[in-house]
Amino acid sequence: GALGLLIIISSILTNRFQLGNVITEYQFYDAAKLMFGISVFWLYLFYSQFLPIWYANMPEETGFIGARVFEDPYKSLSWVTITCVFVVPFVTLIPRTTKIVKPALVTIASISFLGLFLEKIVLIYPSIMQHDFYFGIESILISFGFLCLFLLCVTKFLAYFPIFPLKDKYLIKKLTQGGKH
């Protein structure tokens, strides 16, 4: 989630403050490779939790998985979460071109970030509401409030501190000589 948000914010800052010579396509490429690996690792964690619970037939834990993956109303949301967090990043980040093209990478990062948000809903909501799925205005306003709080913190931070270090001799050397990393 944080890596997807980092890609989105870096893209916005690169476009808004003309930081293309500081945050280059190689940094986005490296972040995309990391996002690809984390999506595979996320599926591994899901599977390593699912496998022992399901096949060891632990009745106290099987209900937790069953309520989220096999029963309505959370069944479809669980599969959408798996698709957003694993399938979309895995399939789209295999070719090199999507790792370099910023709009495609930002779209993939947004889908992955949305999937991780949905994962929190899938983990929490069935414990509170077993048979009904209600995502009302309260949930939207709370999420929007946290987003606004985050944006306020980022804006205040950028108002007091430079976006990149001004006295870093290695950064100045990289900017004057160029290079991949």
Check pLDDT > 60 for residue 132. yes
Query: Where in the chain are the domains?
Result: 2-134, 136-181
Helix (H, G, I), strand (E, B) or coil at 57: coil
**96: pLDDT strictly greater than 80:** yes
Cβ 101 vs Cβ 113: under 8 Å: no
Rounded to two decimals, what is the model's pTM? 0.76
CA 148/CA 150 separation, integer angstroms: 5
When the pLDDT of each residue in the chain is averaged and rounded to a whole number, the result is: 82
Under the banding of pLDDT at 50, 70 and 90, the label for residue 141 is very high
Q: Which residues contact 24 (CB under 8 A, 6 or more apart)?
A: 180
The segment with the largest mean pLDDT, out of 129-133, 149-153, 160-164, 168-172, is: 149-153
Return the minimum-mean-pLDDT range out of 34-38, 42-46, 109-113, 162-166.
162-166
Predicted confidence at residue 124, as pLDDT, reads: 81
The CA distance from 47 to 41, in Å, is 10
The number of residues making up the chain comes to: 181
Rounded to whole angstroms, how far apart are CA atoms 177 and 169?
Answer: 12
Residues 63-91 pLDDT 10s: 777 667 777 777 888 889 889 999 999 99
- In the chain, the percentage of residues whose pLDDT exceeds 70 is 89
Average pLDDT over residues 159-181: 71
Does residue 34 sit in helix, strand or coil? helix
Range picked from 57-61, 132-136, 145-149 for highest mean pLDDT: 145-149
What confidence score (pLDDT) does residue 179 get? 56
The pLDDT, as a whole number, for residue 97 is: 86
What are the helix and strand counts (H, E) for the chain? 9, 0
The alpha carbon of 10 is separated from its chain's Cα centroid by a whole number of angstroms, namely 14
Q: Which of 117, 71, 112 is nearest to 88 (CA)?
A: 112
- The rounded distance, in Å, linking the Cα atoms of 137 and 158 is 31
